A and B are shown apart, each in its own frame.
Chain A
């Protein structure tokens, strides 16, 4: 059985598009949790979430670089690109729901689930039949929706395998797999993240490095708590919040020994979980603001698409664009929903109606 795996260049493109989708899908939940924190409170949580969001954007850029390098074309404006929330992610042979919600112990658990290192116990169980059909499952086999990967790590392992396999096969036929336009690559000049630089993908070696980096930054490298750039992996960053202590050099997984850290679960705007536009009264200012945010976000995705399809220099403008996202999200989250005491509005990230036609 190989149809659910990568056998052709088209499969590879489909997988890499799914990777873009997957990397992006974590951004709305992380960003919502980030901006649900009261201004000036919860510095450790704020920095953890901020770093992770920025690095997920780096992963997005890396996935785009790999896709571009093998002649694909990233499109973040496609109708299905942003999942409906809750979205699902694999958790071994089951899956779990990823909600858009306020920063909370439950949110941190979800984030730990997203970033948790997991390797399939056997080769056969890397790809398993889907446990349930409801909800949009990310890291499913994009070529066979009935099958899901054991973990995000295994999903990327398949991309790495596919890249190697196709590269060999192409070489055997005197063809080149990496035919993409070099000018489409996002280079360190145009993209900045404290936790790593974009890898320019020009061949198999750099493509594998990019894929490894994406997987390693989330889960850590080879069972350790740091990634290939000596940065603390996302899973362990979130675990610090749960355990109330920072990791430091030399620490073993699950046993941080650095300075203590303080989380204040109460200085958070209590936003509606997985909010939809319909949750806001018709004609209300909130509804208008939520729709405006979705438009801004759609604009941001189309801006990224341009940056990933030949205009990487546009990324220099991303900073003010992200400040705009922050401001519009904060505007929503600081306002209670009329008639629902104690529940604040949240961005809905519903792109239908703003991209690709009518709602």
Chain B
């Protein structure tokens, strides 16, 4: 995919401040990229404000990310990206145990607790899709009706069927590899004859080995018998195009993005570092969509962090977004600019969206801005298989168990999906690096013995990651506090978060299930949760280490009225008729699906509404009012 040369230098703060756009978008992640692409195709003039450095996407630039990752001692999700105090991002390595009553403000996210999350999101061009795993499952129909079906959480104002066509658009955009027959379960349906753009990626050897012990196992959940099966996941990485796609037109995979022709990434090569970064760009990242959008003439202003959303006190409409443009990530020096447009779109992720609105004094008449913060709670279970299982081969996660994502048991406890990790115990223990250390330091092995011991240890590792749903809870929230600011003067997000009992009941069920499956596989359970772990949660006399999922949602939930929600079903703000808050924040529940596919689908839906609104609101008077130049009215 060609990234237009110098696209990152098309405009500057001064020129932006003198322009009136059709749409101003905050954030160059998947939401902003999809909306920018859709609006620009409809002939609208679009500006993207990007907080990260946002240079042209070149192969060399991408490879710099890779080199930084390869040479990093800690290979966490953010390890490819340079530290940027002007647009800081949380890192899993920053988390500290929280002393009750004393917020931990030692890193970007200020955490009140009681639970300390290691959740992250990535603030570079492309957003969190620059580190995501690209597992792209649809939500279940029941996930949209949790309150009415199970008396838990909230109902969505739309159902699965309303979103279905947009799921298809998202699957095309991301380039999903999956087979319909594997992905039809628990009420998920497709129109007749639908196929995914590319054929499903195969299960790994490890998956198949686990399947031998799992397939056909019957468990009881909520009084019902459920039969388990290992299934492949739909993946946002390139596989073999399905010739039957799009009524027989087929599909052309989108490979690497660069300012010149480079043919790589058209197929997954099975490297095992999808997270944080695919070496060949076979895994989707939003840069692929951004390249198209910029090709349509979208303007991008990078190194520009939105500072304040200004509104008209009479009609509530957003008049402009004030931003700060820095030159050097290490220096607080900046210029202030204002971006004006007919509509505004904030797509900076669930936490940053709420942070910006709250920092602008826009709490939503519902009082829900920043509330209902959700993130999947991960419970890791790890064991040593009795024989070599090929761990370390294939992409990070190719298969898992989805049968307990839904069911009547959700009236009592959370549902969950189970990922089988082809990358071994890394997430839980820091393998294989910790294994190496142990074999050298404790077992004193070297040479061929060391190699053999390492292979023997690592290639038998089995890690189940239970992705447990977290229902919306108004007291789990993002706030801001003028006492906590970043280098550029932006207020930092303050999190208050606890893991609900509903989730912990699901986690406890999951732990027992893991033990049972390990037993069936003859695997030695090595799981241990330390009470000193920052994510340690006690529940009914047992302790569990809960990890963050980086699947953030709920901070500006959608609903049926201004009283019960921040945005409507098209992600338009109830309070501000020309403002759309987009992304995971709009989701009233996150169910048991990784959130990005649903976010993308919602953005396709919203883009349709935005185009309608832009076409309907062509009154010249409004345009004049918008351009009459109160650009200096904002605080310098």
Contacts and interface: CB of A to CB of B under 8 A. Distances in A.
Given A189-B240, A248-B5, A259-B5, A40 B63 contact: yes
A258 B266 contact: no
A192 interface: yes
Interface size class of B (residues with CB under 8 A): 20 to 34
A231 B264 contact: no
A43 B267 CA distance: 20
Contact of A194 (B58, B63, B260, B266): B266
A307 to B, nearest CB: 16
B162 interface: no
A47 B5 contact: no
A23 B259 CA distance: 29
A283 interface: no
Contact of B264 (A47, A247, A259): A47
Given A193-B263, A247-B260, A259-B259, A43 B59 contact: yes
B500 interface: no
A231 B2 CA distance: 12
B255 interface: yes
B612 interface: no
Nearest to A190: B240
A343 interface: no
B245 to A, nearest CB: 13
A188 B60 contact: no
B58 A259 contact: yes
Contacts of A51: 262-264
- Interface majority SS (helix, strand, loop, mixed), chain B: loop
Contact of B261 (A43, A50, A189, A232): A232
Interface string A314-330: 00000110010000000
A194 B264 contact: yes
Contact of A231 (B241, B263, B265, B270): B263
Which of B60, B262, B265, B269 has the most A CB atoms < 10 Å from its CB?
Answer: B262
B260 A54 contact: no
Nearest to B260: A246
A317 to B, nearest CB: 11
Nearest to B253: A192
B241 A194 contact: no
Given A40-B63, A43-B59, A320-B270, A258 B5 contact: yes
Interface in A206-253: 231-232, 246-248
B97 to A, nearest CB: 38
B67 interface: yes
Which of B59, B60, B241, B261 has the most A CB atoms < 10 Å from its CB?
Answer: B261
Contacts of A54: 263
A28 interface: no
Contacts of A44: 59-60
Interface string B55-89: 00011100100010010000000000000000000
A195 interface: yes
Nearest to A319: B269
A47 B259 contact: no
Interface in A28-62: 40, 43-44, 47, 50-51, 54
B263 A40 contact: no
Given A43-B60, A47-B59, A319-B269, A259 B263 contact: no
A258 B269 CA distance: 29
A52 to B, nearest CB: 10
Interface in B243-259: 243, 255, 259
A188 B5 contact: no
B267 A192 contact: yes
A239 to B, nearest CB: 13
Contacts of B60: 43-44
Given A192-B266, A192-B267, A40 B67 contact: yes
A50 B280 CA distance: 12
A323 B271 CA distance: 11
Nearest to B240: A189
Nearest to B267: A192
Given A47-B264, A189-B240, A258 B259 contact: yes
A54 B243 CA distance: 23
A218 to B, nearest CB: 15
Contacts of A261: 260
A189 B241 CA distance: 7
B264 A50 contact: yes
B175 to A, nearest CB: 14
Contacts of B255: 194
A289 to B, nearest CB: 17
Contacts of B264: 47, 50-51, 194
A43 B63 contact: yes
Given A40-B63, A40-B67, A188-B241, A47 B262 contact: yes
Which of A194, A232, A246 has the most B CB atoms < 10 Å from its CB?
Answer: A194
B190 to A, nearest CB: 22
Contacts of B63: 40, 43
Contacts of B260: 246-248, 258-259, 261
A246 B56 CA distance: 15
A232 B262 CA distance: 9
Contacts of B243: 189
A195 B263 contact: yes
B5 A319 contact: no
16 contacts: A43-B60, A44-B59, A47-B264, A50-B264, A188-B241, A189-B243, A194-B262, A246-B259, A246-B261, A248-B260, A259-B259, A259-B260, A261-B260, A319-B267, A319-B269, A319-B270
Top 10 closest pairs, chain A to chain B, by CB: A194-B263, A246-B260, A194-B266, A192-B267, A195-B263, A47-B262, A51-B263, A232-B261, A43-B60, A259-B259
Given A192-B266, A261-B260, 9 more contacts: A44-B59, A44-B60, A47-B59, A192-B240, A195-B263, A232-B261, A246-B259, A247-B261, A259-B260
